[in-house]
Each structure stands twice: as structure tokens, then as C-alpha cells.
A and B are shown apart, each in its own frame.
Chain A
């Protein structure tokens, strides 16, 4: 009986560990071209980017993680190939979260970031009044992204209305009514 209970505890521990690992892996899942495309499309509903001929997007990653850096470089390359709002040209530049300072971007794309970097990134977004977009749902919990866009089996778009207001981002009313708002 007690042996069975022991096995059950071990199985539960393994299951919990596997769940945590899976969740972590899912959280750090590769950003897909569909995610990036949707991110740029969502910027098309931003008032400040209307009628622009070019936009510059910063891709923010965890400088302590080589994998994150590689992902950010791929994402920046993919973003630079996309047509922006109103056919504006898009340029994208990877920047380590640890190196964020006074850089100016029209928008930033956030890779999956560890919690310890969130505060700094959130401060940067507010300080620079820049619209931040991410495909990592955790960015909504730590209030670093104005828009979370995740293209999976269906498109999920969530607007953080408080953060949008804080950074002075004005999206069209049509857009705000089509997305989930928090």
C-alpha cells in the first residue's frame, strides 16, 4: 500500500517536472513567421504608424542566452522581409534586454524573456513610449507588451489597454473591438 503511494508520489513528481519543463519549452517556443507577420499586421492599426514610408522595429532578447540571441537574429531578418503598414519598409534590429538604454524604435518585438528582465523591459517601454508586441502570452502577466499576438491554430490577439494608454498608443477603434482586451 505504502509502496503504491510512493510510486504514485514519484509519478506525480515526474509528471509535475515534465509539465513545468513542457510549459517552459512552450513559453520559449520558436517565434514563427506567422507570429511576426501578425505582429506587423497589428501595427498597421496603430495611429502613429499610418502614412509612414519606413518603420524600425527593435527585437529584444535575453543577452545572457545564446539561443535567444539566435532567435532574435532570425526574427529580425524575417521582420525585415515583411511589408509594413501601408507597404512601409520594415527594418529590424536585435537588441539585448540588458543593453536597453536610449535607443529609439517605432515598435519593439519582445522575444520570450526571463522574469528578471521584465521589469527593465517594462520600464524601457514606458519610458520611450514605444509599442511592444510579443507572441509570448507571459508578457501580458508581467505587463511588458502592449499587444500579444500568437498565431497558432487560431489567431490570438490581446491588447493591454492600460499599457497602451501608458505609452500613448492609439489603435483604431475597429481594431480594439476585434481583439481581446485586458
Chain B
């Protein structure tokens, strides 16, 4: 059933080549004075030239954010929504559409998917990434499925860590704080001779859940403590002047209180493992990359004595091959193929399984029409076949597992962007894109149980998101400031009736996921940032967004999913920073207008109001030596506790940290 692909590494050793190159982000940034990325088109590009709405959070931004985890950094990024359900429990989405177990934003670490297809969400606590080892976080807003594949519909967050070959960076941080926080993390890099480079990173965190009242039903037995443990090892070997091999392995585990996709408070235990191999060769016919990786994800929920804990295992294997080449100076082409096998089983006390096999092919063509005008077009085709075996207890006791209903999904995605550098200070981008969000494997499982065994195909369609956007960037050289203005319109078709995560009772009539309608979003985003007198930095952003859900009500339940009421219309974010000598100070303000949140009420979901709120995060740091920095930071500082979601109120948090960097 499980297929573990072998790495066809040896094939590339026969390529004639020119020079080995993975991306040396540091050297590129030093040359161009700005970060570079491959997250927009798959081809290396300067951040200011990408045909997409891209934000890059740099290492400096991360350090000065004062955050202690990745969602804590992302909540300061314009256009990104972060729901803080509980201590260490977040959901992140771009441009609203956020929910418990948020499904629409694809999250990757160095190109490896860490989004979990079983529940259709990203378990942020078990990302095997330490903040000190992150070089940059790339946030693409809008569908980017033609490059990354399905589920990149609201956006893509690609976390880029230090490359052991190029980034000679060692770091260690100790952090203590409120909610009994103890957090230790570090990363060390070693060179073995001239051609082998290693990096080890790891971290441990322990804290307590918020002590605020819980308005949600409780599932199982809550734990009094959250824990996280993570390791990652990365080895880069230069096999030849022109060929580089990257092998990476990780393990992480976490126990935490969280709000489930069913809007209950529960204590979950997560464990993940991954192994990745990537061969990069700079050849006579382009930059060739072969990647293969496996992700293993396990979840269980704490229950009281005498109960059987529900559980879920999910394994994913991916093989990718791509070539980026320039047939002529003004043209860059990327061709890629991908195969993935993704499987859930067992789940709870069911012995069955559900899996899909997906084959994909994609092409990207970037054409520099004139020095000022470029057009990038990307197209991807995904063919996804679902299969399942249904077993007890959904079927009558003693019955052998039976084939579940099959499902075939064939979908196109595209991205296109016209970039016009109207002047040395003005850039206009016109963007159109379409992405596909697959039903997650748990939804397919539930739909299969709802329909029962047999060869009649499931009538479940993926959600598709089509986005049109105009984006204008202007630099004000005399003020050292930048303006970005975006107008977007987004249409989601075939919205699924259930959110991510488990639903109430599998197989119960009326509970199986179905497509219930469409949703449309229209909005503007304005961002302005700059530098004052060298020592000061500032930023302010505003988003106005209206979402209209159009569901076919009456035949099926439509109370389980809601976007138009749960997305605030107005969001303002602002930041102010100051640095002088050994001192650094930063403050981040967030305001959002009133919205609503889903809350479980018996078998139903009800909307509860979430009042407008303002938060402030801050950091004050003093550099003791060139390598050692002492900092205090705080989050949600305005109030001792505050309602931000339909879950428990969040509490004010303080941390003190001692960081070593060299």
C-alpha cells in the first residue's frame, strides 16, 4: 500500500555540467541589496521583480519581531491573518478565510510541504524549525498552485532555513517567560573538509495553556502543560564542481491544548518525521533539481482513563523533478513533473485506509518582453486518484474491509503576471491565477463512509480559487519609503460543507462533506514602510475586504463553514523600530474590526461575535557583546486577557531571552 520512492540520484551524476549552485541567498542579497526568492515562479528572482504579491520576512525582521514562534512573526505581516486559539495554537491564512485547522494556505520548509493533507492544516507547533536557523520567510498571497500544486489557494508560506554550505551561522537562544515558558533552541553548522557541510538544529519548549475561561466543549482530558521537541539535521555534499546533494531529516513532537477543527478544546499529541534528498546540478541545459521526500504524521488526542484515544496516521511520499533553463536571454522556462502518494490509515479504531496518488506536470515561461516589461505564465495539471478500504466499525462487525468509492480529480491551475517597471521608482503588476484545494483525506474518508462501499464514484469536487489582482509599488527615494497598493478579487467555487479536521460522527447521514456553493472576496491592501534618519524604521498597512458566501441551503448542513462573517473587514497593522548602538526597540500594533467566530453548540456550529480589538507586541534588546543579546519582549500587551477568537481569550505574555549568534 505504501510506496516509498527511491531517489534516482545516480542519474544526474552523468550530466555534463558547468557549476554547482543551490541558491546562495546571502551572496545574492549582498549583491542586489534585496532578498531573492524562487517561491514566485520556481526561477531565482529578485524580490522586487516577481510577478506575484510577495513579502519576504528577513532574518533581521525575525529577530526584531520579538516572536518566539513562526505564527508570532507572521501576525505582523500585512495581509496575513493569524488566529491565536490558545497558547502555542494558531491558524494562519492570507486574506481572511481563516478557520480552525486552516486549509487554504500551503506551508513549506525549504520547499518541503509541512502542510498535512490528512486534516488539511498546518500544525505549527511541530514544524521542525528553530527561529534562529531561519534565513527568511517568503509569503506569497493569492493562489500559487501552478508552482506548488494543490492547496496553495490563499497563499504560500515558504520558510527558508540557513544553507549549511553557504551560511556559516551558529545560534543558541534561551527564553523564559509567562505561562511558565521555558524555551531552548539552537543551530550549529560544521564543515567537513571543502565539500561537506552539516547543520544540526533543535529545540525544546514547555509552557502552560492560557488560564482563561473556555467557552468551547471539551473533548477528552485536557493536559496542564504544553511541550514541544524538535530536531533537524541537514547535510549538503558537493559531489562534484557541478553537482550538490542535500540530505535532511527531522523529527518533532508536541503535546498541546488546542481548538480542533470541530471547534472543541482538546489536548493533542503530534509526532512528525521526515527525510528528504535533493540533488541539484547546474548543467548545460539548465538548473536541474531532483527531490524526493517522505513525511510521516501521527496524531492522537488525550482521553480519560477507560477510553480509547482517537488517532490518525498520515504518510506522504513525494518525488519531484524540475529543470529551469534559458533558451534565449529574454526567456526562462521551468519544466517540472511530480508524483505523490498520500495515505491515511489507520484512523481512530478503523482498520481501513484512504489514499490518493497524484501525478502532476507543470511549465512556467518568463518572457522579458522589453527591459521594462515582463510576462510570466505558468500552467500545471494535476491528476489525483483516490482509493479507500472501509472497515469496521463503520461496517457491520466481522465483515472484511471493502473497497470504498473511488474518486478521480483532474484539474488545471495557472498563474500569470505582467510586470511593468513604469519608471525607476514605479512598478505595476497585473496578476491572474487559479488554484485548487483538494478535499482533505479525512473529508474523503467521511464522504466515503457516508456513501458506503462500492464502485460508484464519490461526488465530491475540489474547491477552486480564481484570483485577479492589480498591484502597484512605488519607491520614494528622498524619503527612503515604499508604498504598495493592491486591489484583488477572488472567487472560490465548490466550497466544501465541512472545515478541516474531524467532524461530529463519520457516516452519519447529512454529515458527509459535500460541495455547498461559492464564496467571493474583494479587497484592497495598502502598505507603506520606510526608514527615518537611519535609526528608525516604520511600517503601516491597511486591508479592507468583503467576503460573500453563497451556499445552497436546505439540503445539507451549511452551519459548519463560514467565511463572510469570520473575516474582519478592516485590519490595520503598524510597526515602529529604533536601533542605536547596542540598543534595539520595536513595537507592533494590530487592529481589526468586529467579526465573528464559529463555536460548537451541541452538534451544530453557531456564530458568536468577536468584538473589534487592538493588540500590541514589543521587544527591547541590548547587545551585550557582538555575539550575545539580551532581550525582553511581550505579546498582546494591551490587556491582561482579550477575546480574539471564538475560543478562549488570549493572555498577555512576556518573555526574556538570551541569544547567542555567530
Question: What's the least CB distance linking B427 to chain A, in Å?
Answer: 10
Q: Is the CB of A47 within 8 A of B19?
A: yes
Q: Is the CB of B18 within 8 A of A173?
A: yes
Stretch at the interface among A19-27, A53-61, A154-162: A154-162
Known A45-B27, A47-B18, A50-B19: A153·B33 in contact at CB below 8 Å: no
When C-beta atoms are compared, the residue in chain B nearest to A159 turns out to be B329
Q: Which residues of A contact B371 (CB under 8 A)?
A: 180
Q: Which residues of B contact A174 (CB under 8 A)?
A: 21, 23-24, 28, 44, 282, 287
Which of A157, A172, A182 meets B21, CB within 8 Å?
A: A172
Known A177-B43, A177-B324, A181-B329: A157·B23 in contact at CB below 8 Å: no
Q: Which residues of A contact B368 (CB under 8 A)?
A: 180-181
Q: Which residues of B contact A151 (CB under 8 A)?
A: 33
B26-48 interface (Cβ within 8 A of A): 27-28, 30-34, 36, 43-46, 48
When C-beta atoms are compared, the residue in chain B nearest to A45 turns out to be B27
Q: Which residues of B contact A50 (CB under 8 A)?
A: 19, 241
B402-445 interface (Cβ within 8 A of A): 424-425
Which of A51, A155, A170, A177 meets B31, CB within 8 Å?
A: A155
- B326 at interface by CB-CB < 8 Å: yes
When C-beta atoms are compared, the residue in chain A nearest to B281 turns out to be A173
Q: Which residues of A contact B194 (CB under 8 A)?
A: 51
Q: Is the CB of B18 within 8 A of A155?
A: no
Residue of A51, A155, A172, A175 contacting most chain B CB atoms (<10 Å):
A172
Q: A153 to B287, alpha carbons, bound, how many Å?
A: 30
Q: Is the CB of A42 within 8 A of B31?
A: yes
When C-beta atoms are compared, the residue in chain A nearest to B475 turns out to be A153
Which of A47, A153, A157 meets B477, CB within 8 Å?
A: A153
B324-340 interface (Cβ within 8 A of A): 324-326, 329-330, 332
- A38 at interface by CB-CB < 8 Å: yes
Q: Which residues of A contact B34 (CB under 8 A)?
A: 155
How many B residues touch A, CB cutoff 8 Å? Answer: 35
- B72 at interface by CB-CB < 8 Å: no
When C-beta atoms are compared, the residue in chain A nearest to B424 turns out to be A153
Q: Which residues of B contact A84 (CB under 8 A)?
A: none
User: B476-520: contact bitstring with A at CB < 8 Å (1 yes, 0 no)?
Assistant: 010000000000000000000000000000000000000000000
- B530 at interface by CB-CB < 8 Å: no
Known A153-B477, A178-B36, A180-B368: A170·B18 in contact at CB below 8 Å: yes
- B450 at interface by CB-CB < 8 Å: no
- A138 at interface by CB-CB < 8 Å: no
Question: What's the least CB distance linking B115 to chain A, in Å?
Answer: 27
When C-beta atoms are compared, the residue in chain A nearest to B285 turns out to be A173
Q: Is the CB of A177 within 8 A of B44?
A: yes
Known A151-B33, A178-B44, A178-B45: A173·B27 in contact at CB below 8 Å: no
Q: Is the CB of A161 within 8 A of B31?
A: no
Which of A41, A51, A157 meets B27, CB within 8 Å?
A: A41
When C-beta atoms are compared, the residue in chain A nearest to B330 turns out to be A181
When C-beta atoms are compared, the residue in chain B nearest to A46 turns out to be B19
- B177 at interface by CB-CB < 8 Å: no
Q: A131 to B66, alpha carbons, bound, how many Å?
A: 45
Q: Which residues of B contact A94 (CB under 8 A)?
A: none
Q: Is the CB of A41 within 8 A of B48?
A: no
Q: Which residues of B contact A176 (CB under 8 A)?
A: 326
When C-beta atoms are compared, the residue in chain B nearest to A40 turns out to be B31
A28-43 interface (Cβ within 8 A of B): 38, 41-42
- B401 at interface by CB-CB < 8 Å: no
Q: A182 to B328, alpha carbons, bound, how many Å?
A: 9
When C-beta atoms are compared, the residue in chain A nearest to B329 turns out to be A181
Q: Which residues of B contact A153 (CB under 8 A)?
A: 424-425, 475, 477
Question: What's the least CB distance linking B191 to chain A, in Å?
Answer: 12
Which of A38, A47, A173, A178 meets B46, CB within 8 Å?
A: A178
A104-158 interface (Cβ within 8 A of B): 151, 153-155, 157
When C-beta atoms are compared, the residue in chain A nearest to B331 turns out to be A181
Q: Is the CB of B48 within 8 A of A154?
A: yes
When C-beta atoms are compared, the residue in chain A nearest to B23 turns out to be A174
Q: Is the CB of B31 within 8 A of A157?
A: yes
Q: A172 to B17, alpha carbons, bound, how many Å?
A: 11
Residue of A38, A45, A151, A173 contacting most chain B CB atoms (<10 Å):
A173
Q: A51 to B241, alpha carbons, bound, how many Å?
A: 10
Q: A172 to B287, alpha carbons, bound, how many Å?
A: 9
B269-322 interface (Cβ within 8 A of A): 282, 286-287
When C-beta atoms are compared, the residue in chain B nearest to A170 turns out to be B18
Q: Is the CB of B23 within 8 A of A177?
A: no
When C-beta atoms are compared, the residue in chain A nearest to B286 turns out to be A173
Question: What's the least CB distance linking B405 to chain A, in Å?
Answer: 46
Residue of A51, A161, A174, A182 contacting most chain B CB atoms (<10 Å):
A174
Nearest 5 A/B pairs, CB to CB: A181-B329, A41-B31, A172-B21, A47-B19, A173-B287
The 15 sampled A-B contact pairs (Cβ below 8 Å) are A41-B31, A44-B31, A50-B19, A51-B194, A154-B424, A155-B31, A161-B329, A172-B18, A172-B282, A173-B21, A173-B287, A176-B326, A177-B326, A178-B44, A180-B371
Additional 11 contacts, C-beta under 8 A, given A154-B424, A172-B18: A41-B27, A41-B30, A44-B27, A45-B27, A47-B241, A154-B475, A172-B282, A175-B21, A177-B44, A177-B287, A181-B326
